[in-house]
Amino acid sequence: MKNIYSLIIIVLGTMIFLSGCRHDDGRAGDYYYRTDMHDQPSYKPQQSPRDPVEGTVPVTGYVMEIEDSAMANRLQNPIGQNPENAELSRRLYNIHCGVCHGAGGKGDGTVTPVFQTPPDITTGRFPDVTDGYLYWVIRDGIGIMPSYYEHIKSDERWLIVNHIRSLQGE
């Protein structure tokens, strides 16, 4: 009878000891004597996906670095100025640029009393800069003007460039 108690104590003791065992990945608790089905290369629920292989191109296309104005000047405006997109171009300009540059592009937007006055982009050297240059300024910002890389899509930047051209023509 005494031996039976000793045996129970040993079995219980071993179970308690094993319940504290940890797996290689740090999980505590249940002790599995075989883990080969669990530890396998397949992806677990909630696990983040694999990193893409080096050189992978996103489905939305590759975003090119524009390193300097010479490179910007080589960009071709793929969206021509036309009466159909003129209204959209004007609205995009007013939403994103007008607050500083003014609706007419003269640098007299509503925030200018408390912010550095931007240049008049309808005169001076601006009629002579390329569309690519204006696109680059919108995309990457210049001086203290912020970049609109995240906020304005590529085709919308070209539409805004078109609207600056029409302001310069006025």
Residues lying near ligand HEC in the complex (CB under 6 A): 96-97, 99-101, 115-116, 118-119, 121, 134, 137-138, 142-145, 148, 160, 164
Give me the residue whose beta carbon is nearest to ligand HEC: 143
Least Cβ distance, residue 59 to ligand HEC (angstroms) = 26
Nearest to ligand HEC of 23, 96 (CB atom): 96
What's the Cα-to-Cα distance from 31 to each of 12, 16, 18, 23, 59, rounded to whole Å? 14, 11, 6, 8, 45
Least Cβ distance, residue 36 to ligand HEC (angstroms) = 58
Nearest to ligand HEC of 23, 81 (CB atom): 81
